[in-house]
Amino acid sequence: MNRYSRHIILSEIGQIGQDKLSNTKVLVVGAGGLGCPILQYLAAAGIGTLGIVDFDVVDITNLQRQILFGTASIGQNKALAAKQRLKDLNDSISVIEYQERLTHKNALDLFDQYDIIVDGTDNFETRYLINDACVITNKPLVFGAIYKFEGQVSVFNYQNGPTYRCLFPEAPEKNTVPNCSEIGVLGVLPGIIGSMQANEVLKIILGIGNTLSGKLLCYNALHSQTTVLNISKNNHEIEKVLKNKNSFTTQTTETFCEIPAIVVSIEDVLDKNNIQLIDVRETHETPKIEGISVTSIPLSELNAHINQLDPNKDKYIFCQSGIRSKQAASILQNLNIKHCYSIKEGAPDIIEYLIQQNQE
């Protein structure tokens, strides 16, 4: 087939290798920064069946790095928008979209239908969920993660190799790690890391080269530096996952709050009486808001410091950019604490607003 002639000409691939690619089913969880390049290269390479799981819709802030989408995709489900783009890229493959969140309930059934699982998600809960579901269904996992200017790639649970839990046995405390929307990410970084993940998938299928099983590749985009660390297998961690396999589908993924936060603007807050302003940034974060009363409770300590909330006041929460405050308001609402609102502006904008008000 002309489409794959540049693959077939490679002695390491040939027609036999290309047939292997078209007979393989790969599931990509998350069609965001990492998912887009992973999917794009796997579709172009002729992976026979590509599954895409994502519940989220395309936002304008995604377009800086989520290269399968365009302005017309805004508001569309990402799995669906990705499928539409990939069908144009390669109409000889089958692309199945799952417009849903991967949870403990659906993960095992989904994974059973695929040969290789690729993690393109952005949160620890899903990473551990994917790892454990791969261990239980015995599927190789191609892992990737990005943070600001740095990324990591590995292959877990492959040919009796280590798993993600062998490297990091437990997830960090809930809500203590910021995501891309909080700290930012260089747009090209997920392109690099996602392409490396696609490369690992191809090597696994083709049986060529060396995979990153038992290794963690760390890439720093600022310094163009790559470090490869060795990972040892920890049988105890793997056994723990397998021991709980019968109760796996009954586990809930706690962080997915059911009650979303109510978001308000600072303009609607400051003329109100009887309010408590709460700063959920870490104590070292600046700029500080001065001249008005603010209670500081870092998000990471929220559960332990609920007693600092004034039950007689409406609680208005802010952070640096409106993301953590939303999480905090949602957490409090889910704890049945009433009248909690997230201020959409972050501290720098709030300060600017206060200065303007004083000048008027």
Ligand X SMILES: Nc1ncnc2c1ncn2[C@@H]1O[C@H](COP(=O)(O)OP(=O)(O)OP(=O)(O)O)[C@@H](O)[C@H]1O
Residues that bind ligand X (CB under 6 A): 29-33, 35, 53-56, 61-62, 78, 101-102, 120-123, 126, 179-181
**Per-residue b/e over 346-357, b at no fewer than 16 CB within 10 Å?**
bbebbbebbeee
The minimum distance between CB 168 and ligand X, in angstroms, equals 17
The minimum distance between CB 205 and ligand X, in angstroms, equals 23
Residue whose CB is less far from ligand X, 49 or 106: 106
Residue whose CB is less far from ligand X, 27 or 216: 27
The minimum distance between CB 54 and ligand X, in angstroms, equals 4
Crossing angle between the packed helical segments 189-206 and 35-45, to the nearest 10 degrees: 40
Distance CA 306, CA 247 (A): 32
Task: Kindly calculate the radius of gyration of the chain based on its CA atoms and give it in whole angstroms.
Answer: 23
The minimum distance between CB 106 and ligand X, in angstroms, equals 9
The minimum distance between CB 293 and ligand X, in angstroms, equals 32
Residue whose CB is less far from ligand X, 121 or 325: 121
Residue whose CB is less far from ligand X, 66 or 213: 66
Burial of 339 (0-12, 13-18, 19+ CB in 10 A): middle
Residue whose CB is less far from ligand X, 30 or 162: 30
**DSSP string over 87-140:** HHH-TTSEEEEE-S---TTTHHHHHHT-SEEEE----HHHHHHHHHHHHHHT--
